[in-house]
Amino acid sequence: MDPAMFATRTSNVSASIIREILKLTQGSDIISFGGGFPSPQSFPVEDMKRYNEELLAKYGKEILQYGTTEGFVPLREILAKQAEEIGISATKENILLTTGAQQVIDLMAKALIDKDDVVLVENPTFLAALNVFKMYEARIVGVDTDSHGLLPDDLERKIKEHKPKLVYIIPNFQNPTGVTTSFSRRKEIMDACGKAGVPVLEDDPYSLIRFEGEHLPAISSFDKWGTAVYASSFSKTVSPGIRLGYAIAGKDIMNKLVVGKQTTDVCSNNLAQRAVYEFMASGRFAEHVKDIISEYRPKRDKMFEMVERTFPKGTKLNKPHGGLFLWAKLPDGISAEQMLKPAIEKAKVAYIPGSPFYIDPSHGKDEMRMNFSNATLEQIEIGIERLGKVLSGKI
């Protein structure tokens, strides 16, 4: 087809580099720290099987019919109640069930972004969020960060300078850096955005997977202006294959998200919504999250310890308090990007180099993201050791 027929937006985004790397590693003997996949051991297969069976037996005709765009009311109610734990006041009217939290990012961009509008993000940030904003032809501007999250001063300055339509933040165990935004920063960030009337999208898929320390109130919990939207997902706590996430939003934004979803996929999968409701209402969900934490904490510890032990001297590493990822900065002269090929070929280990997470992909070449949830403890031990040797030029 004549390439001129395609919309301009499509030239901004190419197939996800992560998915391309994953394709290379599938079905092979390669140990992959590349994706953001949960552990297959963590999936509540038996629970899902039982709920699906019982629910289809009881409510089959309703479950197989169209659902409302907003989603299954009892699940919306339970999510509104759960939101209280992170300081968000919500009722079911504020909850929209979505086809993964990825859809929340897409619907928020659909609701807010005209071509050339500015979106402020942590830099680096979630690759697939950058791709959404590029699809909507936003101008993406990075805000400076440190180990406590976004710098409120820089945020204020950039709000004034760029008059953004959206600020996108991952407050807990950020993807890719693992950084958690501190309590005081959360309030300062919300104040800066709220006073300027700028919508905030708080993307929070990992917060329940916390290995140590206290849960912090959401950035949205400090929202007095009705401009914050909170997004989360069941991909890391139940299953990504069911494609279920949700948004918590005030009335004005909610109306736009709902209309956006109507034109996008009408409603979310009913069986997934009902099964997750049963899982939460029974209390099994909370137990299950504890099991995930018990599985992932030693993996994080093992990966951290092995990286410290085997990576070249001068590697910088921070220990995330939760989530799925370790982020490392290699010492001068070692390029994580250039080492990927030998890592896959010689060490049979895959990871994601830092560049695709940056707005300007010429950055982050000496950084790398390693996922610790999907590999086994043994794979982490062997894989990181091998990777350390490749990075140190020993194999």
Residues 91-150 that bind a copy of itself (CB under 8 A): 99-100, 102-103, 106, 110-115, 117, 128, 131-132, 135-136
What is the rounded CA–CA span in Å between residue 175 and residue 152? 19
* Smaller CB separation from a copy of itself, 145 or 355: 355
Q: Which of the ranges 172-180, 255-263, 282-290, 305-313 carries the binding residues for a copy of itself, by CB under 8 A?
A: 255-263
For residue 7, the minimal CB distance to a copy of itself (Å) is: 5
- Which residues in 175-214 contact a copy of itself (CB under 8 A)? 197-199
In whole angstroms, the minimum distance from the beta carbon of 18 to a copy of itself comes to 10
Cα(94)–Cα(73) distance, integer angstroms: 11
Backbone angles phi, psi at 209, to 5 degrees: -90, 65
**In contact, 72 and 273? CB cutoff 8 Å:** yes
Q: Which of 296, 298, 316, 302 lies closest to 383 in space, CA to CA?
A: 302
E-assigned strand segments in 152-211: 166-169, 200-203
Q: Please report whether residue 318 would count as binding a copy of itself according to CB under 8 A.
A: no
State the nearest-atom distance from the C-beta of 40 to a copy of itself, in Å.
4
Contact letters (x/-) for a copy of itself, 281-310, by CB under 8 A?
------------------------------
Would you state the structure tokens that stand for residue 107, as one six-digit string? 């619907």
Q: Is 60 in the site for a copy of itself (CB under 8 A)?
A: yes
**Of 62 and 84, CB closest to a copy of itself:** 62
Q: Shortest CA distance to 322 belongs to which of 288, 290, 344?
A: 290
3-state class of 198 per DSSP? coil
Least distance to a copy of itself, CB of residue 36, Å = 8
Instruction: Give the interface segment with a copy of itself, choosing from 56-64, 82-90, 339-347, 364-372 (CB under 8 A).
Output: 56-64
**Which CB atom, from 258 or from 307, has the smaller least distance to a copy of itself?**
258
- Rule CB under 8 A: choose which of 192, 272, 276, 306 binds a copy of itself: 272
- Which of 24, 91, 215, 266 is in the footprint of a copy of itself by CB under 8 A? 266
Measuring CA to CA, which residue among 134, 159, 171, 182 is closest to residue 359?
134
The two tokens of residue 66 are: 């169209």
Asked if 224 interacts with a copy of itself (CB under 8 A), we say no
Which of residues 259, 289, 377, 382 is near a copy of itself by CB under 8 A?
A: 259
Question: Restricting to residues 11-40, which ones interact with a copy of itself according to CB under 8 A?
Answer: 13-16, 19, 35, 37-38, 40
**Joined tokens for residue 318:** 């921070």
Helix (H) or strand (E) holding 325: strand 325-329
Using the rule CB under 8 A, is 170 a contact of a copy of itself? no
Please check whether residue 209 is in contact with residue 296, taking contact to mean a CB–CB distance below 8 angstroms: yes
Nearest to 143 by CA among 179, 112, 90, 99: 179
Q: Which is nearer to a copy of itself, 103 or 310 (CB)?
A: 103
Number of residues that bind a copy of itself (CB under 8 A): 88
Per rule CB under 8 A, is residue 52 in the interface with a copy of itself?
Answer: yes
Q: For residue 236, what are the CA distances in angstroms to 209, 245, 256, 284?
A: 8, 10, 27, 15
Considering only residues 88, 121, 219, 267, which one is a binding residue for a copy of itself as defined by CB under 8 A? 267
| Segment lying near a copy of itself (by CB under 8 A), choices 8-16, 276-284, 287-295, 384-392 | 8-16
Tell me the CA distances in angstroms from 255 to 71, 103, 146, one per residue in order: 14, 15, 35
- Which one among 260, 322, 323, 356 touches a copy of itself, defined by CB under 8 A? 260
Half-sphere exposure in the Cβ direction for 68 (13 Å, CA) = 12
